[in-house]
Amino acid sequence: MHYLIYFDESNKLDQFNANYSYYGAYGGTDAAMARVVKQVRNIFKQCNSFSELHFREYTKDNLVKKYFQTLHTVINENVQINILTVNNRDALYAAQKIGLTATELRNLFYIKIPERLFYGMTRDLSSQESGTIKVKIKVDQNDEYDKLFLETKIIEQMNAHSAYRNKNYRVVNVLSQNSVKSIPLQIVDTFMGMVIFLLEQNYLESSNTAKIKSDLIYRFLIEGNNLMKFQQQIKLYKWTGHEELTFVNISDYVSPFMAYKAAYDSQEIIRIQKIMVENPAMPLKELRLKTGYPNTMKNTLIGYKDQIEGRGRNYSIL
């Protein structure tokens, strides 16, 4: 059996522009990954959009169907996503105690953090397969990784873990890959972006971008069993300065979001419905202008309209 892991990061320890750094790993068997990639390519084709998936750049809802269907496809496959958060202030304080610069600390973390994330995904593989499991790791293309010889060091660390703990997996290669050409790297970027959005409670912001991102996440989570699978398949950890990572229950962040969004949507639906009742034949464009929705949020309004008219919130994007 072959097992594939894809790694990405968000925010950097030594840039001093964020309170937290985030590291994500997306893993699954080669067969599961192949199914996901094939299905997502078909989604891109059906939506006539081949641009790269990036949650940070999702600022208009014209591609909501593409993102929604991709997220829905991924979460319904047998895959796992591990995300680690690091409090930058705590990490830098720990570095200062032993005379390390921020850059030196980041370089050390580049080795330790991926290794811990990857081990968390591979340690239970032995119970699933009796033969040797070959692990291949892909990291988002980054010149800094090459300078640190990240590929060689991760192979050494991971295989040392496997031998020491009598596991039956072996890391055979670690390769850098351009995310433009890698759907799995785009997937880990998007899921990690969503989780960060929930952790930092960006949905409380009043900007249109926050509303657009909130709408995507909410519509994805209310579809089928996605909410349950999202909380089961995404494992969240935080670094606290101790040897063992601390597990974080992601539902502690999902539940407040769902409650907030349900309350917000209820008020919005009442407002829109009142206008629709008073103007039953009003075309969509006029309704959009009457309700104050910009064109970048047209599909958000369509979702509300479909819900009001009994077709279901996700009718237009299924």
Q: Which two tokens stand for residue 109?
A: 């973390």
> What pLDDT digit, counting tens, does each position of 131-170 carry?
889 999 999 887 777 766 778 888 988 898 888 888 889 9
Handedness of CA 90, 95, 96, 101 (dihedral sign): negative
Whole-angstrom Cα Rg for the chain: 21
- State the pLDDT at residue 147: 67
Residue 14: the pLDDT is 67
Low-confidence ranges of the chain (pLDDT < 70): 14-16, 126-130, 147-148
Which tokens go with 49? 């959009």
Q: What is the pLDDT of residue 272?
A: 98
Enter the pTM of the model.
0.93
